[in-house]
Amino acid sequence: MKDTIFYPNLTLNVKGILREFTKPVVMGILNTTPDSFYAQSRIASVDDVLQKATEMIADGAEILDIGGYSSRPGATAISVEEELGRTTEVIRAVKTAFPEILISIDTFRSEVALAAVLAGADIINDISGGMADPKIFEVAGKYKCPYILMHMRGTPQTMMHQTDYTNLMEEVEIYFRNQLQKAKGFGIKEVILDLGFGFSKNSDQNYLLLKNLAQFHSLNCPILVGISRKSMIYKPLSLTAEDSLNGTTVLNTVALLNGAQILRVHDVKPAVEAVKLVGFLNGVSG
User: 24-71: per-residue pLDDT in tens?
Assistant: 999 999 988 765 544 555 566 888 899 999 999 999 999 999 999 887
Q: Would you call 264 a catalytic residue per the annotation?
A: yes
Sorted by where each begins, the domain ranges of the chain are 10-281
Q: How far is it, in rounded angstroms, from Cα 196 to Cα 152?
A: 6
Return the pLDDT at 229. 95
Q: Residue 231: phi, psi to the nearest 5? A: -65, -25
Count CB-CB contacts under 10 A for residue 242.
11
Return the pLDDT at 162. 87
Return the pLDDT at 226. 97
Return the pLDDT at 182. 97
Instruction: Cite the DSSP H helix spans in the chain.
Output: 46-59, 80-97, 110-119, 135-142, 168-185, 203-211, 231-234, 245-257, 268-281
Residue 266 and residue 228 in contact, taking contact as beta carbons nearer than 8 Å: yes
Q: Which of 23, 86, 229, 230 is catalytic?
A: 230
Residue 138 and residue 114 in contact, taking contact as beta carbons nearer than 8 Å: no
Return the pLDDT at 285. 65
Q: How far is it, in rounded angstroms, from Cα 165 to Cα 63?
A: 33
Q: Which of 23, 86, 95, 264 is catalytic?
A: 264
Residue 75 is classified by DSSP as P
Return the pLDDT at 198. 93
| CATH class in words for 10-281 | alpha beta
Return the pLDDT at 282. 78
Q: Would you call 86 a catalytic residue per the annotation?
A: no
Residue 30 is classified by DSSP as E
Count CB-CB contacts under 10 A for residue 2.
9
- Amino acid at site 212: N
The CB-side HSE value for 223 (13 A sphere, CA atoms) comes to: 29
Return the pLDDT at 33. 76
pLDDT-flagged residues of the chain (< 50): 1-2, 37-38
The residues, ordered by sequence, that sit 6+ positions from 210 with a Cβ below 8 Å of its Cβ are 197, 225, 227, 251, 254, 255, 258
Residue 210 and residue 197 in contact, taking contact as beta carbons nearer than 8 Å: yes
Return the pLDDT at 2. 45
The residues, ordered by sequence, that sit 6+ positions from 244 with a Cβ below 8 Å of its Cβ are 229, 230, 233, 234, 237
Return the pLDDT at 156. 78
